[in-house]
Amino acid sequence: MKSCFCATEILLPSQDIPVSQWGCLACDQFTSQPAYWEQMASQIANRPSALHIILPEVYLEQNVDERIQKIHQTMYEYQQNVLTRKVNGFVYVERTLQDGSIRQGLVGAVDLEAYSYEQGADALIRPTEKTVLERIPPRMAVRKNAPLESPHIMMLVNDPEKTLIEAIAAQKQQMHLLYQGSFAMGSGEVTGWAVESPQLIAQIEQAMLRLCSQQEFDKRYPAYAGRSPLGMVVGDGNHSLATAKACWEDVKRTLPESEWEHHPARYCLAEVCNLHSPAIQVEPIHRVVFGATPISLMLASTAYYDQEGIVLDNTTPQYVFEIVTRNRKTTIGLRCCKEPLAVGVIENFLAQFTAQYPNAKVDYIHGEDAVEELVCQNNAVGIILPQFYKSDLFKGVIAGGVLPKKTFSIGKAKEKRCYFECRAIR
């Protein structure tokens, strides 16, 4: 049986390009804060950087075709002149976070044949949240004719015995150091080692096979024994992995089945982390509503609660969240909610609200400080969601299929996976 997480050829920039210059934060961060991306661009200027081969989503409505054409051109140039180092295997990564903890991960190739984002699918690899299909086409436009990929995708395995990543970390002194340094714009430090020995590669793939086995699934989730195993879930980069899958399905239709297994588009580069790592902190994703007044939101939410039989109750609430306006914060308690998470109540309400008020726009924001800043700058309304607990993540996916969109993120905005490693996909 083949592992769904495989060794592959990984490309890296030349040794003389520092981490601070090459590494770049995920494209779906700071989507309402162009100043972040402008400052990043000014620091990098015209020097080689992963920033030049991604499309930050803050620019999705600005000269997109021209930007994508430039991205593809730059990728071809980098393939020839910048990405001069290769690893045949995996990369073991340590990311130092703001609190000093170290997030460990393995970068390798995820087999897209083992993954599905279709709602209700029982694939070995599944999303944790509902995939918004409208978000795939802009990313497909970047990936479709791209010669390269660079991932901000983070996958999670449920490995309490620490047989996969931590077992490799214990042997890092035997590995070749690839890079070490600090990312720009306060995104922390990172170190990467090459995992190339046949013994270590076999160890990773065997550990992954065990974690994905029916026997392991039945032991870990006895209430769901006999169901199709769940081996990995998407922790971050859900829509990027869905885009890779959609592109592979397009490519697959043009190929005889005999060519599927080794085609580079069948795989997607990603970092796999252990859910049980103390450094994996799951943060709620908050909402900011632009183009709406606090009074219109309040009146609409009251009508929605009445419609759904939800009771406002700050004494014995089922869920608690905060409404943030320019001048105040208001705590809201709800009970008699049908949704299993507070974010589900909020998402259902906002879907109804934006249908009634087409000028209203919702953005998904990491960090309470960023919410408050956007509210003050734009006279918007913020919704601060309660903590989401990672212990329920795998069980939630198994029991309910997916969580509501944008339920959680791994860590703070600046602690997201940065683009660094690359892989040829054509």
| Rounded Cα gap, residues 187 and 274, in angstroms | 21
| Rounded Cα gap, residues 116 and 133, in angstroms | 13
Give the mean model confidence (pLDDT) for residues 86-102. 95
Split at pLDDT 50, 70, 90, the class of 38 is very high
Prediction pTM value: 0.83
Residue with tokens 């009251």: 302
Mean pLDDT score of the chain, rounded to an integer?
92
Q: Does the pLDDT at position 16 exceed 90? A: yes
Residue 318 has phi, psi (to 5 degrees) of -80, -40
Percentage of the chain modeled with pLDDT above 90: 74
The CATH number of 283-387 is 3.30.1760.10
pLDDT digits (tens, 9 = 90+) for 330-369: 999 999 998 878 888 999 999 999 999 999 999 999 889 9
| Rounded Cα gap, residues 302 and 279, in angstroms | 39
In terms of Cβ atoms closer than 10 Å to its own Cβ (0-12, 13-18, 19+), residue 91 is: buried
Task: Tell me the Cα Rg of the chain.
Answer: 22
| Rounded Cα gap, residues 382 and 289, in angstroms | 6
Q: Does the pLDDT at position 400 exceed 80? A: no
Report the SS3 class of residue 273.
strand
Split at pLDDT 50, 70, 90, the class of 133 is confident
Q: Does the pLDDT at position 51 exceed 90? A: yes
| Rounded Cα gap, residues 86 and 89, in angstroms | 9
Closest by CA position to 318, among listed 347, 346, 340: 340
pLDDT at 264: 96
Residue with tokens 């408050």: 372
* C-alpha angle 50-26-119 in degrees, rounded to nearest 5: 130
Split at pLDDT 50, 70, 90, the class of 214 is very high
Give the mean model confidence (pLDDT) for residues 87-93. 98
Q: How many CB atoms lie within 10 A of CB 408?
A: 24
Range(s) for CATH 3.30.1760.10 in the chain?
283-387
Q: Does the pLDDT at position 406 exceed 90? A: no
In one-letter notation, the amino acid at residue 40 is M
DSSP-assigned letters across all residues of 18-58? -HHHH-EE-TTSSTT-HHHHHHHHHHHTTS--GGGGS--GG
pLDDT digits (tens, 9 = 90+) for 100-131: 999 999 999 999 999 999 887 889 999 988 77
Q: How many CB atoms lie within 10 A of CB 354?
A: 16
Is residue 290 within 8 A of residue 378, CB to CB? The reply is yes
Split at pLDDT 50, 70, 90, the class of 37 is very high
Distance, first Cα to last Cα, the chain? 26
Q: Does the pLDDT at position 88 exceed 90? A: yes
| Rounded Cα gap, residues 255 and 4, in angstroms | 21
Closest by CA position to 83, among listed 13, 147, 20, 148: 13
